């Protein structure tokens, strides 16, 4: 695997055993061969199933392993169907299909060994890049460099540099390069900028939990609960909240805390891939809220009107 990755990525790749197995349930320790992998300065978990697993099981296990470890997880697969490959690319699940393809959306990479290692445009960007773009839109960034963006977001320059790489991969129109210095300048018309970028953005929700009882900790509202804060929409009877991956870990959600399918939950928790300080009340930012709504919800006239009201008042 190391040799294959280095040959395809044209860079050194460090792979060593994952030792912090105390974070994992016993079933997961015995089901996978786990390794830490360092690519372009970023640490991820390389997950190789010991036995063949179905796509639905792999998707669920991938999300749970990210939850347990706090690391981005890359599935290491020997053989997958074209259907499974297309679904994982569509849903942004990183994988290495040894001898065939490497898909690392958090690094802006989709490389195909069978096509002369041509780098294709990524359909969806990583959560950090999405947070960067939405922050840039809200704050109307002008000629913001990697160094300045890192300071504004509170992340490393390497992380922002990787995000700029992703933007280059999707030919993002507001990223310029002059004398090797890359700068991000957003269009002053925020609505037009949103229309140009929204197809490259993804649903920020990683997982959803229906709980019997509402946690005591303070949380941002999300979904229709947040939309009700931003507009005249009536607040739903079952509130929805957004929590980060770190917050989910601290809540220590167990199966006994989940509401049964036939019961009305006390609240819904949405684990989200990033958080943006928007500065209006205790709700997630408006554009991430729009991205999190289902197609069915957005087609409802009262919800559609509330979304338009929110965007006109708080974003455009």
* Residue 114, pLDDT score: 47
Sign of the four-CA dihedral 292, 297, 300, 302: negative
Which residue, 86, 119, 152, sits at the end of a domain? 119
Same domain for 226 and 246, yes or no, is yes
Angle at 31 between CA 72 and CA 23, to 5 degrees: 55
Number of structural domains, the chain? 3
Q: Are residues 264 and 294 in the same domain?
A: yes
For residue 91, give its domain range: 2-119
74 and 96 inside one domain: yes
CB atoms under 10 Å from CB of 146, counted, come to: 20
Residues 255 and 163 in one domain: no
- 23 has a pLDDT exceeding 80: no
Residues 260 and 285 in one domain: yes
- pLDDT of residue 115 exceeding 60, the answer is no
Q: Are 63 and 206 contacting, i.e. CB atoms less than 8 angstroms apart?
A: yes
Q: Are residues 115 and 137 in the same domain?
A: no
Of the three residues 166, 200, 234, the one that is the final residue of a domain is 200
Q: What is the pLDDT of residue 68?
A: 82
For residues 107 and 276, which has the higher predicted lDDT (pLDDT)? 276
Question: What would the two tokens of residue 94 be?
Answer: 């990183």
Q: Are residues 194 and 229 in the same domain?
A: no
Distance CA 150, CA 145 (A): 8
Residues 171 and 115 in one domain: no
Find the range with the poorest average confidence among 148-157, 215-224, 284-293.
215-224
The per-residue pLDDT for 289 is 95
The residue with tokens 């320059």 is 157
Is 191 in the same domain as 258? Answer: no
* Structure-model confidence comparison of residues 232 and 260, the more confident one: 232
Contact 223, 268 (CB under 8 A): yes
Instruction: Assign 124 a pLDDT band (cuts: 50, 70, 90).
Output: low
280 and 252: one domain?
A: yes
Residue 109 pLDDT level (bands cut at 50, 70, 90): low
pLDDT bucket at 293, cuts 50 / 70 / 90: very high
Answer yes or no: do 196 and 281 share one domain. no
* pLDDT above 50 (res 180): yes
The pLDDT > 90 percentage for the chain reads 28
Distance in angstroms (rounded) separating the CA atoms of residues 33 and 50: 7
Last residue of a domain, one of 162, 179, 200: 200
Output the six-digit token pair for 59. 């998707």
pTM (two decimals): 0.61
Q: Which helix (H) or strand (E) holds 83?
A: helix 82-90
Q: What is the CATH number of the domain that holds 174?
A: 1.10.10.10
Clarify whether residues 187 and 103 are in a common domain: no
């Amino acid at each position: 695997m190391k040799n294959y990755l280095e040959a395809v990525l044209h860079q050194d790749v460090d792979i060593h055993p994952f030792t912090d197995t105390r974070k994992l349930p016993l079933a997961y320790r015995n089901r996978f061969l786990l390794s830490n992998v360092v690519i372009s300065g970023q640490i991820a978990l390389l997950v190789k199933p010991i036995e063949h697993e179905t796509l639905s099981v792999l998707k669920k296990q991938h999300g749970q392993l990210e939850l347990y470890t706090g690391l981005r997880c890359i599935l290491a697969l020997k053989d997958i169907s074209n259907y499974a490959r297309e679904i994982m690319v569509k849903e942004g699940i990183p994988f290495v299909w040894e001898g065939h393809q490497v898909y690392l959306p958090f690094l802006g990479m989709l490389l195909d060994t069978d096509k002369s290692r041509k780098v294709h445009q990524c359909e969806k960007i990583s959560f950090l890049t999405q947070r960067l773009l939405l922050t840039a839109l809200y704050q109307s960034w002008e000629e913001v460099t990697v160094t300045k963006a890192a300071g504004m977001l509170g992340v490393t320059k390497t992380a922002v540099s990787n995000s700029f790489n992703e933007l280059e991969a999707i030919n993002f129109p507001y990223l310029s390069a002059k004398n090797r210095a890359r700068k991000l300048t957003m269009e002053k018309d925020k609505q037009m900028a949103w229309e140009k970028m929204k197809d490259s953005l993804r649903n920020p929700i990683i997982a959803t939990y229906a709980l019997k009882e509402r946690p005591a900790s303070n949380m941002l509202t999300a979904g229709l609960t947040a939309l009700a804060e931003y507009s005249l929409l009536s607040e739903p009877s079952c509130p929805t909240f957004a929590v980060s991956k770190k917050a989910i870990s601290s809540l220590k959600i167990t199966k006994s805390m989940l509401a049964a399918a036939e019961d009305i939950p006390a609240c819904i928790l949405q684990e989200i891939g990033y958080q943006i300080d928007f500065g209006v009340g205790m709700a997630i930012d408006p554009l991430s809220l729009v991205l999190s709504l289902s197609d069915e919800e957005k087609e409802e006239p009262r919800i559609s009107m509330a979304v338009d009201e929110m965007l006109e008042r708080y974003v455009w």
